[in-house]
């Protein structure tokens, strides 16, 4: 076994690998960019080495710099995690040349499976079923469009290199094809440095089922059962589970055998995942990921095995710890990916500081894999994942209840998150019944991402009670420091001459102003809430800082986080944002001009598709931005004229920067 390994990654996966190293007595070396100098993985590792500026291409994608760090640290092996250099054959070859063990498969296997074209050829020869498609070397737009017409719509345009949904487009009509090919090629070149594309028949309403395989250097190959990853958005997995529900044992066995055959066909070593589309009892090879998958924890939960430990042992030359017949499968597990993104803004990544971060308590049923702590920043430079929330129980219904409960306990303030979206998925009746396929999220999007609703009365009540308690706490502090602690000027009870004691609190909730009148009573408060009768209320702040609130006889627990006048109420698994209203500040605000098209987040301009003076129609693509490795298209908000273009391709833009000036046509 190795004495020391370097982890060529960051964030959650780096922390995950470090935990296993620590348990096995293997010293770990972290690498970090300028942006990650105080990151969690840096603090956890035994050693850490700086490798460059914040952009990944200047740090985490610099194989030469990482190998120099391994040399300096005396590391015997490099664990690439996933993403970055994990499936980079040139880096694996450089490790070999430097005498450092690459904890992954041999270079030929990476090259074979890194090319979706070559992998299809190999799988066909190995008898693994394939989806009909075009995997040719001719890559002109004309050739790709001709192939798509021959296959028949809908088709999937797909980057040959990489994964994670990048460089992938579903095309349902020929009119969409040219733009989809151009966009997919740009994203593939940006993300993987390889613009090669393939075209496949798009199978409507399939499930995405993958097989976890493992192989050693002694000819042993096994699978550790399957995972269902059908809940996807833009081809990126959102919630995964193991084992795949509703799969007949005969199909499960054949799929496992196909996964093992795929691994043998390329002389595989280490951890890998063979992905299939499953529909009506049949399954078709999609691709093989030659690395550890993001969703590997669900496999660990049902098998009780540490896959990172297996990776280290196999890379060190040991045999697989178990034969196929000895690999257990117990219970059911889910993984939900918690991201800093805003579902209400088409899942736009959210940038900011994690001012408040409270995960659910971990134990035999709940696991949290994360790479961030309270106070850390989610930046533009890297993937905006906050954590992977993994749960396990004896069967699927019990595990699903665990997932819903754990999501309700997860508290994040400082960035927008997809927590409520995940909760809506976990609570959807069709998901509970396993009526799921890869189109589930888009089909149910209106239910899963409802239009913004005003804060309910309970949320306003909690915000008002928290405000009153804070005023009371401040008043007590003033009284204790005063020469006259009993002075009425040190009270916060809303005293008024010839009137009952009350405070009028105004909260901005989106576009509306909600007023809550708080009346003092001997045994609590009476609240006048909008659109309802007065309610009796009580509130106690617990030592943990949480509030125990009773409204009209109903008791609930809530967390309130304040940043100046900004208030976030965390209640029943949702985060509600309010502002304690300052009328003077409100009067000074200026409305945003209707003719400005602004950047929804910081990023880089990939291409400008129009010139000043262009007359366009509603929905016309105007500019393409790239942020966090994803492309975002700015489209015309109406029929009209682009009167000015303020940025060119390659320019960096900040959030809310005016990109184009636009004049809508008269109705």
What is the Cα–Cα distance from 647 to 419, expressed in whole angstroms? Answer: 34
How is the beta sheet containing 77-79 ordered, strand by strand? 47-52, 27-33, 4-7, 77-79, 101-102
DSSP 263: H
Q: What share of the chain is helix, strand, coil (3-state, %, to 5)?
A: 30, 35, 35
Q: Which residues of 18-54 are buried (b: 16+ CB within 10 A; e: fewer)?
A: bebbeeeebbbbbbbbebbeebbbbebbebbbebbeb
What is the Cα–Cα distance from 337 to 78, expressed in whole angstroms? Answer: 26
Using a 10 angstrom Cβ sphere, with 0-12 exposed, 13-18 middle and 19 or more buried, the burial of residue 322 is middle
Pairing between strand 596-598 and 658-664? antiparallel
Would you tell me how many other CB atoms lie within 10 Å of the CB of residue 94?
Answer: 19
Coil/strand/helix, residue 106:
coil
Using a 10 angstrom Cβ sphere, with 0-12 exposed, 13-18 middle and 19 or more buried, the burial of residue 659 is buried
Catalytic residue among 291, 396, 402, 404: 291
Would you tell me how many other CB atoms lie within 10 Å of the CB of residue 218?
Answer: 11
DSSP 485: T
10 is known as an active-site residue: no
What is the Cα–Cα distance from 590 to 297, expressed in whole angstroms? Answer: 49
DSSP 382: S
């798509």: which residue's tokens? Answer: 148
The secondary structure of 573-602 as a DSSP string is TEEEEEEE--HHHHHH--PPPTTEEE-SSS
Encoding tokens for residue 242? 């193991």
Encoding tokens for residue 342? 């805003």
First to last CA, the chain: 73
Would you tell me how many other CB atoms lie within 10 Å of the CB of residue 638?
Answer: 14
Encoding tokens for residue 457? 């009365």
C-alpha pair distances (Å), 507 with each of 153, 415, 424, 502, 562: 51, 20, 27, 16, 13
CA-based nearest residue to 196, from 154, 167, 155, 163: 167
| HEC readout, 529-565 | CCCCCCEEEEEEECCCCCEEEEECCEEEEEEEEEECC
What is the Cα–Cα distance from 560 to 466, expressed in whole angstroms? Answer: 7
Alpha-carbon torsion, ordered 77, 301, 43, 418, to 10 deg: 120
Q: Which residues of 132-168 are buried (b: 16+ CB within 10 A; e: fewer)?
A: ebbbeeeeeeeebbebbeebeeebbbbbbbbbbbbbb
C-alpha pair distances (Å), 95 with each of 5, 62, 75, 88: 12, 13, 11, 11
Pairing between strand 207-215 and 535-541? unpaired
Catalytically active residues are 291
């Amino acid at each position: 076994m190795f004495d020391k390994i370097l982890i060529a990654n960051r964030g959650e996966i780096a922390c995950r690998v470090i935990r296993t190293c620590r348990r096995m007595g293997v010293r770990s070396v972290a690498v970090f960019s300028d942006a990650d100098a105080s990151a969690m993985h840096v603090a956890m590792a035994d050693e850490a080495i700086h490798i460059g500026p914040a952009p990944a291409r200047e740090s985490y994608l610099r194989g030469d710099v990482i190998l120099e760090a391994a040399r300096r640290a005396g590391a015997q092996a490099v664990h690439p995690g996933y993403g970055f250099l994990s499936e980079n054959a040139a880096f694996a070859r450089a490790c070999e040349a430097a005498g450092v063990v690459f904890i992954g498969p041999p270079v030929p296997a990476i090259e074979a499976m890194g090319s979706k074209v070559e992998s299809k050829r190999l799988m066909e020869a190995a008898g693994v079923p394939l989806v009909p498609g075009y995997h040719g070397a001719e890559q002109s737009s004309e050739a790709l469009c001709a192939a798509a017409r021959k296959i028949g719509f809908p088709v999937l345009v797909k980057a040959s290199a990489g994964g994670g949904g990048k460089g992938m487009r579903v095309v349902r009509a020929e009119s969409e094809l040219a733009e989809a090919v151009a966009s997919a090629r740009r994203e593939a070149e940006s993300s993987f440095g390889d613009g090669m594309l393939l075209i496949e028949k798009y199978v409507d309403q399939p499930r995405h089922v993958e097989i976890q395989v493992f192989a050693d250097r002694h000819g042993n190959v096994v699978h550790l059962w399957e995972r269902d990853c059908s809940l996807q958005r833009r081809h990126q997995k959102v919630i995964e589970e193991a084992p795949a529900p509703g799969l007949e044992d005969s199909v499960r066995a054949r799929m496992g055998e196909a996964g093992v055959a795929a691994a043998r066909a390329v002389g595989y070593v280490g951890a890998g995942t063979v992905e299939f589309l499953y529909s009506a009892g049949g399954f078709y090879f999609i691709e093989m990921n030659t690395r550890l998958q993001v969703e590997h924890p669900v496999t660990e939960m049902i098998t009780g095995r540490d896959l990172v430990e297996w990776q280290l042992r196999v890379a060190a030359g040991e045999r697989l710890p178990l034969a196929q017949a000895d690999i257990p499968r117990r219970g059911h597990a889910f993984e939900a990916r918690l991201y800093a993104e805003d579902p209400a803004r088409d899942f736009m990544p959210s940038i900011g500081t994690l001012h408040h971060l409270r995960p659910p308590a971990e134990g035999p049923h709940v696991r949290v894999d994360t790479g961030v702590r309270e106070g850390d920043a989610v930046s533009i430079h890297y993937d905006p994942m906050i954590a992977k929330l993994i749960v396990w129980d004896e069967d699927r219904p019990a595990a699903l209840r665990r997932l819903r409960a754990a999501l309700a306990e997860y508290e994040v303030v400082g960035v927008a998150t997809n927590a409520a979206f995940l909760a809506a998925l976990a609570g959807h009746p069709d998901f509970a019944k396993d009526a799921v396929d890869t189109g589930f999220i888009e089909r149910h999007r209106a239910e899963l991402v409802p239009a913004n609703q005003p804060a309910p009365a309970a949320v306003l009540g909690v915000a008002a009670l928290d405000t009153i308690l804070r005023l009371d706490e401040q008043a007590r502090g003033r009284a204790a420091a005063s020469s006259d602690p009993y002075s009425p000027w040190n009270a916060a009870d809303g005293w008024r001459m010839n009137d009952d004691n009350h405070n009028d609190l105004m909260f901005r909730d989106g576009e509306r102003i909600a007023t809550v009148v708080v009346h003092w009573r001997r045994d609590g408060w009476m609240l006048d809430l909008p659109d309802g009768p007065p309610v009796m209320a009580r509130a106690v702040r617990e030592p943990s800082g949480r509030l125990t609130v009773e409204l009209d006889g109903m008791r609930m627990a809530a967390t309130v986080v304040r940043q100046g006048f900004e208030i976030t109420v965390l209640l029943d698994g949702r985060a509600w944002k309010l502002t304690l209203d300052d009328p003077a500040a409100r009067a000074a605000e200026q409305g945003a001009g209707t003719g400005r098209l602004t950047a929804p987040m910081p990023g880089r301009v990939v291409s400008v598709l129009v010139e000043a003076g262009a007359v366009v129609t509603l929905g016309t693509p105007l500019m393409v931005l790239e942020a966090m490795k994803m492309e975002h298209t700015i489209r015309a908000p109406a029929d009209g004229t682009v009167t000015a273009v303020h940025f060119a391709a390659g320019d960096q833009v900040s959030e809310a920067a005016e990109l184009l000036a636009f004049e809508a046509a008269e109705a």
